[in-house]
Amino acid sequence: MPTLPETFDAILLGAGQTNNPLGRTLARGGWKVALIEKGDVGGTCANVGCTPTKAMIGCARVAHQARRGAEFGIHVGDVVVRLDEVRERTQGIVKDFRTGSERELAATNGLELIRGEGSFTGPRAVLVKLNDGGERRLAARVVVIDTGGLPARPDIPGLDSVPWLDSTGMLDLVEVPERLTVLGGGYIGLEYAQMFQRFGGRVTVLQKDDQLMSSEDPDMAAALAEILRGEGIEIHLNAEATRVSGSAGDVRVTYQTEGREREAAGTHLLVAVGRSPNTEALNLAAAGVETDDRGYIKVDEKLETNVPGVYAPGDVNGGPAFTQVAHNDNRILRDNLLRDAGRVTTGRLIPMVTFTDPQYGRVGLTEKQARQEGRRIRIARMPMNQVSRAIEIGEDRGLIKAVVDAETDQILGCAALAFEGGEIMSMVQVAMMGDLPYQRLRDDMFAHPTLARGLNGLFASFVE
């Protein structure tokens, strides 16, 4: 006679940036919660994404600033980067974040953290293969899938025959690659490219599209490319990788560009061409959960799948793969599950920041998107070398751009390639959230000299 499953109010698959806080909130609301995680608590962000990479970017910036000392009248000796020490510092930060989360989970009554891998056996039934052996069968009225994504593996001839790294593998390096080839010109590839150029390597970026960050406006992408090239990074656009060859310490990427075949040689290869959904082990077919042609789980505006009571927030549903999205998904599910609040994902502003230096932050519509929608728009654009604060601190590279509705004067979007560009963009986002017309940012008072004061100048600098 089959064993009856253990019953919970909610089964949460994956302890990522949605399910981690969601599990605690549901349990505090009186729910009996099973949180299932095979690996480390915190998901991609805390373990192999935001936390370690931004910690390493911080180290790389210190090295870069030390080399710039003479520009400010500060003279130092040779800059020596010890990547093993950078890694030790980084992993210490990761460990602190992760253990803090684990302590919070352990202290939450009504929540059980189950270490193992879960897979569906029915619409809201899950089999957990425990990490330490054995298995448990669970059932619940609500199941939330927060298993995130994995680095995508492109189908390039020869890739399987050479050593290569993905964004996770880069975190294990203890010596700076002498020559690093980066396949992919999106935000992950560019952050690593600049980081390791500043650590002392020589970096080449191969981007298959005609610009970096293909979803962004061409002028902003071109400005970032100019900055990165200015630091010594070699960038090739319209470079379609066709073959990989070589061996450890000598990895060669053959690529097509402008009708010609070329080769990029490096001691190391980073493949950063996007992400794929982490769903292979879930046995979604047993639950009847539908996916799209890329394997991402289909959800509606309340993050519910086609199976009632089964939800899929965060990266696994194919939306923007940002931690802030997962955090907001948590709030939507929390309010809907506990209070039937009717919250939806539609209409929300989704900000993003690429942590190059200067940062690239954007929220709302790009100029390209606004024109595709047929909107009548005005474009405000201002270089950072017109912002007093940026000049004073030697951070005047980049530009800020805003898209304004020509009929309503509402701000439709903002992109800031600037020192603390994410913070500048966030100020404009607050104005957008409050439906302020652009004139408020043009005419009202900001403290001088701050980066924020540059918004006065930006919204007085319409180019059309």
Contact 118, 127 (CB under 8 A): yes
Kindly calculate the radius of gyration of the chain based on its CA atoms and give it in whole angstroms: 24
Placement of tokens 């490219």 in the chain? 193
Q: Are 211 and 360 in contact (CB under 8 A)?
A: no
What is the distance between the alpha carbons of residues 116 and 125, in angstroms, rounded to a whole number?
Answer: 15
CA distance 294 to 277: 8
DSSP SS3 for 73: coil
Are 202 and 193 within 8 A, CB to CB?
Answer: no
**How far does the chain reach from its first CA to its final CA, in angstroms?**
75
The one catalytic residue in 75, 236, 268, 448 is 448
Hey, how many other C-beta atoms are within 10 angstroms of the C-beta on 175? 13
For the record, the structure tokens of 162 come out as: 């050479």
User: Is 448 one of the catalytic residues?
Assistant: yes
DSSP-assigned letter for residue 433: H
Residues 148, 278: contact at Cβ < 8 Å? yes
Give the type of residue at 156: I
DSSP-derived letter for residue 291 is: B
Which residues are known to be catalytic?
Answer: 448
